[in-house]
Amino acid sequence: MTHPRGAKPVAIALVISATLLFALNSGLSRVLLRSEIQPTTLISFRLTITVALLAGWAALTSPSSLRPPRGRLVAIVAVHGVIGVAALQTLFLIAVDRLTLGLALAVQYMAPLGVALWVRYVQRIRLPRGVWLGLGLSLLGLAAITQIWNGLTADPLGLVAAIASASCFATYFIVGEIAARTTATLRLLIWSFLAGAVGLAVVAPPWQLVNRLGADVSYQGRLDDIHTPLWVALACFVIVGTVVPYVMVLVSMRRLSATVVSNLHMLEPAAGFAIGWLWFSESMAAVAVLGCTAVIAGVLLAQRGTRAVSDAGTDPVKTDSVGCEDTQKCGLGSS
C-alpha cells in the first residue's frame, strides 16, 4: 500500500502528540484526585463517557462493532474490561497521587516484561537473550530511579499500586491479543470499556460527580493560580486526555507499523518526568535520569524479542474499519 509523500512524518507526529497528551493527562488526573475525587469515581466517570463516545463513533463508522460478544468472548471481554481497563486505570491513579509522575509511568511501562514472563513460563516459548537482558536492564533502571540503596524513599503504597497497575497492563496486552484473533479491535474496546464501566459503577457510580460539576478546581503546582469549574477539568481529562490521543493513535496506525508505534509510546515515561518537573516542580537526580533511560531501553529490548516470537508463532489478528491491527497499541492509555 502506498501513501502520499510526508504521510509517515505526519503519523509519527500524531503518535508523539498522543503520547504527550497521555502523559499530560497524568498530571491532570493528580489535580482531580487532589480535588477530593476518589480514583474509582474518576475512572468510573471516564469510562462511562468514553464508552458513549466510542459507541457513537462506531455507530457511524463500524456498526458491526456494536454487536454484543458471545460464548467464550464474553469471559474474555469481562477480564479485559475489569482487570485490564478498570483496575489498571484505578491503580495507576493511586500511584500518580503518591509517586512522582515519571516514576509511576516508568513502573507501569514495565508491563511488557510481564508479557515476556507469560510467554516464557506459561506458554513455554523460549525467548531470545535480548528479552532477559532487557528485563535485567529495566530492573537496574528501576533501582536507580528509586535509589533503593538509600532505603525505600518512594511511598510504599504508591509503589505497590504502580507495580499492580503494570501487572494489569500486562493482562490488558495478553488478554487483548487473545481476543483480537477473533474480533475487531474497536468492538473489543467498546465492550471491554463497558464491562469496566459497569464493574466500577457498582462501587462508584459516575453520577456522584454531577452535583459537583460547578465546583472550583485549582491546577496546583506552578499552575496553582489557574482555576476552572470541575466540569472543564473533567472534559479535558476525558476528551483531550483520552479520546483525542486515542484517535491520533488509530489514525497513525494506518501509516506506521505496530512496532514503530510501540517504540514511540516509550517516550511517555520520559514525558512524565518532564511534566512532573515543569508542572509540579518534581526534581530528579542524575542517577534517576540514567535509571529512566535504562528502563526504557530495557523494555524496548524485551518488546523486540517478544514481538519477534509472537510474529513467528501466532495467527493474524482481525482488523477493524480504521485499520488498527495491534490491540496493544490501539487501546487507550491508562493516563
CA-based torsion, 327, 329, 332, 335: positive or negative: positive
* Confidence label for 27 from pLDDT (cuts 50, 70 and 90): very high
Residue 334 lies in a domain: no
The per-residue pLDDT for range 204-217, each reduced to its tens digit, is 999 999 999 999 99
Mean pLDDT of 134-142: 87
Residue 14 lies in a domain: no
Residue 6 lies in a domain: no
Percent of the chain with pLDDT over 70: 87
Q: What is the pLDDT of residue 320?
A: 43
Mean pLDDT of 89-107: 93
Residue 175 lies in a domain: yes
Residue 200 lies in a domain: yes
What pTM does this model have?
0.86
Higher pLDDT, 131 or 44: 44
Percent of the chain with pLDDT over 90: 45
Residue 5 lies in a domain: no
- Residue 111 pLDDT exceeds 80: yes
- Structural domain tally of the chain? 1
Q: What is the pLDDT of residue 307?
A: 64
Residue 182 lies in a domain: yes
Residue 16 lies in a domain: no
- Residue 328 pLDDT exceeds 90: no
- On average, the pLDDT of the chain sits at 85
Mean pLDDT of 147-158: 81
Higher pLDDT, 182 or 327: 182
Range of the structural domain that residue 272 is part of: 21-329
- Residue 165 pLDDT exceeds 90: yes
The per-residue pLDDT for range 273-308, each reduced to its tens digit, is 899 999 999 887 888 888 888 888 888 887 776 666
* Confidence label for 318 from pLDDT (cuts 50, 70 and 90): very low
- Residue 4 pLDDT exceeds 80: no
